[in-house]
Every structure is written in C-alpha cells, then in structure tokens.
Amino acid sequence: MVVVNVPFEFSTASRILFGAGTIAQIGTQARSMGCHALLVTGRNAARAEPVRALLEASGVGVVLFRGAGEPTIGMVEECVGRARAEHCDLVIGFGGGSALDTAKAVAVLLTNDGAPLNYLEVIGGGQPIARPGAPCIAVPTTSGSGAEVTKNAVLASPVHKVKASLRGPFLLPRLAIVDPELTYGVPPPVTATTGLDALTQLIEPYVCTRANPLTDGFCLTGMRLVARSLHRAWKNGRDIAAREGMALASLFGGLALANAGLGAVHGFAAPIGAAFSAPHGAVCAALLPAVMEVNVRALRARQPHADALARYQVVAEILTDRKGATPEEGAVWIRELCVALGVAGLSAHGLTASDVPVLVDKAAKASSMKANPISLTVPELEEILRRGHP
C-alpha cells in the first residue's frame, strides 16, 4: 500500500554504520569529532569498558556518566554540568534508548543556553533548538528504541508526572553505530519488551496519518524481520541471524517514526512511563494489541473506507504469513506473541482502575496521539487501558 500524494521530508543521522564488529571503529570515528568524550551509559557501566579502551587507544579522553534508568530533567542537567566541568567536546551514548536519549539531550544543551524545560514540548517552553549540538555518537546495545536515528530525546518530569520530548533536527546524532553483537547478552525479558517496542515503532508509522512512501519501505521490511526474528532472539540470545534481524528492524523503526509519526500506543506510553516504574518497551508491549483492536473497530465503524484499514490488513498478512489475514487476526497474533514471551500487563507495574481517567486525559494531549489513524473517544481510550491492564 503506497501513498503517492503526501508531501514529506526525510532526515536521519549523518552517518550509520551497521554490522557485526562495527563497534571496533568507534575510536577512529570519535577522534575525527573531538578529543574529550563524555561517555553516557546505562546502569551497567562495566559493559562500556571495551568502548572506553577503544577510545583511549585512539587518543580520546573519556569521562564516564552512568545513567540511572530513564532520563529525567534533573539527570540531564547533572550530566550537562559534568560535561562542561570536564570540558567535553564530544558526547557518546552507549546503551538502550535511555542512554542514547540522555546523550542526545546533553549534546544539544551543551551549545544551547538555558534549562531543558525551556525546550521541552507540552510541559515546557517549546523553544526551538537553534544551534547544532556537540558531536554525538549513538551506540545501541538493545534492539527496540531506534533512538540512534531519531530527532528527539524523551525526558521524564517527576514534578509533572509525564514524559516530554526535546525535538528538532539538531537532536540527530552525527554517527550511529549499530553492532548486533552488542545485543547478544540482553536477557530474554528485555529482548521481549524492546523487541515489541521495535514492532510498535514499525506498525504505528505505517498506519499513522503521516505515513509516506519512504518510511513505508522501512516499516514493511522491519515487520517481516520482527515476525521471523523476535521469538528466536528471545529463545536463544546468541542466534546471530535473529539478533541481526532485530537490530535492523529496530533501526528501521527509528528511521520510520522520526519521519512519519506514531500513534496511541506512544500517546499512552509517555504518561504511564512517567507515573510508574515501567520501562518504555514494557508499556508498549502491553498496549499494542489493545490499541490495534480498538483502532480497527473504530475505523470499521466510522471510516470504513480508510486507507489505514487496508494497511492494518497488510500488517496482519505480514505477521501471520497468511494472505487474506484480517486486521483483527493481526492483533490476535501480537497478543499471542506477548503471552509466549511472558510480557506482563500494566497492573504488574502498579497501574489500577483509579489511574485510568488521569492517564487518558494526559494521553489525549500527547504529541504522538495526533498521528493516530483515527481520533479515539474517551471511552475508547479507557478501553485500551483496561485491555492492557491484566
């Protein structure tokens, strides 16, 4: 299903290196951009020691910053202060989406005056980021977020109990290094939730109101990769072909969402992730089947000739590997996959029925919700949360 009459633009990281062993190039690549790097990692900073060694062997000084979970405004401010105090001229993110978003935010805030809140969407001033950031290299170690090629960085505000984005072309990294070998040690539960996040970020851009011919290609190929790779990678973390498939699918999802849009899954993910200790991928995994079910039913009732319905059928045919599969069968396939991978519902993260009204109100205002293939009613949004709750 190709859209031919929608104007679009496309932007991504200045350069992408993909393939097993490409991390070996990080030292020489970094040295061409700066001489003193801030290396932002996830909780397990020890995993970055080989990267530190490669950088130092190339003459790049390293200041390590270990992130504690998903980035908050305060964490980013602390990291910017550290980078300035140490005179860092280069920022490297090494880890999952949280580490990459932290690095991207720090890179632009090093060269743009003011607090993060000045630039944040929804809860902040929404000021445009006017100047290019410090050079940034993004190295994902999970297959899910696609943050290595997206032009936003999601930050949590504990005060507002919501997540919001810094957004703009200057958030795009100078270089993305996607080495599937870095994902071999990811445990099965993380493989499951990050992989379902990747699938969400392939389905939502494909059915959203801003889909375009270029992102369609990434989405279609990426969905096929997930359908044949995710369960295998979950079952055997050292299945080389499966890990390569998921790394490529994640990259394609990032390219697609950055240049098309998302939908209701991510509209909910921002307020839920900020209010509860729920990883982003786990929230997406819990909500994706319910959002598909409700979207399809709403489209059949109110927009039966919508292009999005035909696109949902394409999604179903790819996932089930069966010509003529219905959109509803595609949602069932994903729900059954979630069960097979042991994905928990939202109640496992503390969400209760009393939280539904506030979350629905916040989700309705989220930027991702604007590209959902159909405008959903409050009862429909409430139903999504109830279905994702068990």
Return the half-sphere exposure (C-beta side, CA atoms, 13 A cut-off) of residue 178: 27
- The string of pLDDT tens digits covering residues 154-172 is 998 888 877 889 999 999 9
Give the pTM.
0.94
For residue 5, the model assigns a pLDDT of 54
- Weakest mean pLDDT among 141-145, 279-283, 371-375: 279-283
Is the pLDDT at 190 greater than 70? The verdict is yes
Share of residues in the chain with pLDDT > 70 (%): 98
pLDDT, position 193 = 95
Q: Is 267 left (phi over 0), alpha (psi -120 to 50) or beta?
A: alpha
Q: What is residue 11's predicted lDDT score, i.e. its pLDDT?
A: 86
Position 40 confidence tier, pLDDT thresholds 50, 70, 90:
very high
Please compute the mean of the pLDDT values over residues 137-147 and round it to a whole number: 96
Q: Is the pLDDT of residue 4 over 70?
A: no
Mean pLDDT confidence for 129-150: 96
User: In degrees rounded to 5, what are phi and psi of residue 146?
Assistant: 65, 15
pLDDT of residue 99: 95
Residue matched to tokens 């984005």: 165
Tokens of 332: 């069932």
Q: Which residue has the higher pLDDT, 7 or 232?
A: 232
Mean pLDDT score of the chain: 94
Taking only the tens place, the pLDDT of each residue in 337-353 is 999 999 999 999 999 99
Inform me whether the pLDDT recorded for 70 exceeds 90.
no
Q: How many helices (H) and strands (E) does the chain have?
A: 14, 8
- pLDDT for the residue 266: 95
Q: pLDDT at residue 134 above 70?
A: yes
How high is the pLDDT of residue 237?
A: 96
Q: Which of 27-36, 193-202, 277-286 has the lowest mean pLDDT?
A: 277-286
- Least Cα distance to 255 among 149, 119, 134, 129 occurs for 149
Q: How confident is the model at residue 388 (pLDDT cuts 50, 70, 90)?
A: confident
> Which one-letter DSSP state was computed for residue 353?
G
pLDDT score of 228 more than 90: yes
pLDDT for residue 121:
87
Model pLDDT, residue 1: 47
| Residue-level length of the chain | 390
Q: What one-character DSSP code corresponds to residue 265?
A: H
At 3, the pLDDT band (50, 70, 90 cuts) reads very low
